[in-house]
Amino acid sequence: MKPLDAQTAALVERLAAAGFRPAHQVPLQELRQGLAGMAVRMAGPKVEVYSAEDLAIPGPGGELPIRIYRPRPAVSGEALPAVVYFHGGAFILGDLETHDHVCRFLCHAAGAVVIAVDYRLAPEHKFPAAVEDCYASLAWTARQAAALGLDLDRIAVAGDSAGGTLVVTTCLLARERGGPKVAFQVSVYPALTMTDGEEFASRRKFGSGEYFIAYEDFALFRDLYLNDPDREARQPLVSPIHAGSYRRLPPALLIAAGYDPCVDEDRYYFERLKADGVPARYVCYEQTIHPFFLFDGVIDAGREAQQLVADTLREFFATGRLPAEHGG
């Protein structure tokens, strides 16, 4: 396979020199502070949007914080497309601030309203808190579409890492519960199984810890997220790779990283979507690592992938079809 690109290799070397430790070796509070700091330091410049408004909506566990980004002023009679965005962070990290730069870019470049969701985190709130919060935010967006100036037929869901997993579980729940309609799904390097992952060779191959995530980290995330890992790990709303069928899920864009322990399961999800008749595109940025989409200030492929997501959303919202193939 191709070597790491120069920017990713430099980042890996810099992290190693700074004493970077995999998640399973770091106390939770230190992990949370570390991600928040890295997300800011590694982020590209924040683009301007017309507005960014913080709200609290009714959620399954009480008030659910969201942030609504608008690309331009509301025009009477206009209904804009929307993207409900779920941040990454292994179900235990991340918030509205860690992914603010990503949401701003997508809002500006896709010309869509972006609704970022600050879902409840484990271990304080274990499964299914995050899953239900994300579904609730989609349902709220659909109910409020007219008041928000949104097109009910052009609501997409998108997310990275654990947020990408929550994209898939939200689509599964929307299918199971008879709505709301999801027009499109974007999952960026989702972790799609909470089992040991041994059926996917990349979990071990790239899980040394050198490439940001260690194989042992997944057990930590599983134990913090689940109430009873042995009983819950194979449930489709925990490990959507184990869903019996993906029929009637929305069209999808899957983005992967070549040196990510999750790359094999991401490809497998794409192949399963296609086999079940779901229009889908898979783009793997072969020479980079798991958090590249978030670290767009130091890895150019991160901004390229954000642009790909924005372009795909813009074209899909305009035509109802996936655009022509893109490279990665």
Give me the domains of the chain, ranges plus CATH numbers: 6-319 (3.40.50.1820)
**Consecutive 10-residue averages of pLDDT for the chain (328 residues):** 96 94 94 90 96 98 98 90 98 96 98 98 98 98 97 98 98 98 98 92 95 95 97 97 97 98 98 98 98 97 98 97 65
What tokens were used for 312? 């795909």
pLDDT value, residue 59: 97
Residue position matching structure tokens 């590694």: 42
Nearest to 151 by CA among 159, 141, 161: 141
- Of the residues 95, 100, 260, 264, which is catalytic? 260
pLDDT value, residue 327: 41
- Of the residues 160, 202, 290, 296, which is catalytic? 290
- Of the residues 161, 187, 202, 239, which is catalytic? 161
pLDDT value, residue 75: 84
Known catalytic membership, residue 290: yes
Q: Where are the alpha helices (DSSP H) in 190-299?
A: 202-205, 215-225, 229-232, 263-275
pTM here is 0.97
Known catalytic membership, residue 260: yes
